[in-house]
């Protein structure tokens, strides 16, 4: 954990905010901003662009969680939420919004750093999984396009799949392009001609 980690703390109670800030300072975090009123949440998120968001709510509501999720973009950064009490619906809403840590039984200063560390680690795992999923989806879509292009070549030239693939691969190498890009151009061209 480095001291350059920028953190936004959402807390309306001044005393609780001070406890959180003291905990962050003891944990060697130096750059943080406190949001004490919900009307300035989005403006401060845009101007401060934190790496981490810590939200402390005594009595959260689903609307408040959704507003915080929209403002803090939990898919872009780790978000830890401390609540005094919760129910299954609020817990589910927080997790669906992408919250990295949802801690029931309130915020205690001695729990801030371990929760931040865990939330960051969990966020990184999910971020890696999202990246891998996106890459897998992209590869699958490319595979589908290549298969369509091979089918078009097979039909047009009366050749088998291996020969169609070889023609497609040679065209990509000759043009200095990726196989998927050449296949996509062929599929798009065939679509215009039909």
pLDDT digit string, tens, across residues 97-119:
778 888 887 677 777 788 888 88
Q: Binning pLDDT at 50, 70 and 90, where does residue 2 land?
A: very low
pLDDT at 53: 77
pLDDT at 177: 96
Q: Residue 43: which domain range?
A: 6-107
Whether residue 99 is found in the same domain as residue 14: yes
Whether residue 79 is found in the same domain as residue 171: no
What is the Cα–Cα distance from 118 to 101, expressed in whole angstroms? Answer: 8
pLDDT at 128: 94
- What CATH number is associated with residue 178? 1.10.10.10
120-160: pLDDT as tens digits: 899 899 889 989 999 999 999 999 999 999 999 999 999 99
Contacting residues for 5 by C-beta, under 8 A, at least 6 apart: 29, 31, 51, 52
Read off the tokens for 25.
């300072």
Enumerate the H helices of 55-111 as residue ranges: 62-72, 88-96
Give me the mean pLDDT over the 26-48 stretch: 65
**% residues pLDDT > 90 (the chain):** 33
Whether residue 11 is found in the same domain as residue 89: yes
Domain count, the chain: 2
Domain boundary pick from 91, 107, 123: 107
pLDDT at 89: 80
Are the CB atoms for 102 and 95 separated by under 8 Å? yes
């Amino acid at each position: 954990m480095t001291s350059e980690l920028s953190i936004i703390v959402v807390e309306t109670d001044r005393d609780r905010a001070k406890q959180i800030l003291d905990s962050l300072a003891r944990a060697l975090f130096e750059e943080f901003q406190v949001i004490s009123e919900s009307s300035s949440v989005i403006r401060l998120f845009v101007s401060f662009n934190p790496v981490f968001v810590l939200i402390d709510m005594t009595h959260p509501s689903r609307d408040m969680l959704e507003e915080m999720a929209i403002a803090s973009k939990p898919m872009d950064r780790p978000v830890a939420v401390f609540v005094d009490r919760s129910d299954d619906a609020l817990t589910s809403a927080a997790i669906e919004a992408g919250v990295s840590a949802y801690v029931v039984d309130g915020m205690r200063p001695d729990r801030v750093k371990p929760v931040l560390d865990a939330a960051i680690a969990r966020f990184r795992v999910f971020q890696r999984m999202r990246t891998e999923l996106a890459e897998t989806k992209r590869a699958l879509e490319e595979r589908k396009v290549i298969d369509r292009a091979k089918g078009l070549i097979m039909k047009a030239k009366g050749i088998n799949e291996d020969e169609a693939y070889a023609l497609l691969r040679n065209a990509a190498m000759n043009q200095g392009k990726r196989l998927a890009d050449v296949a996509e151009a062929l599929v798009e061209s065939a679509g215009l001609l039909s």
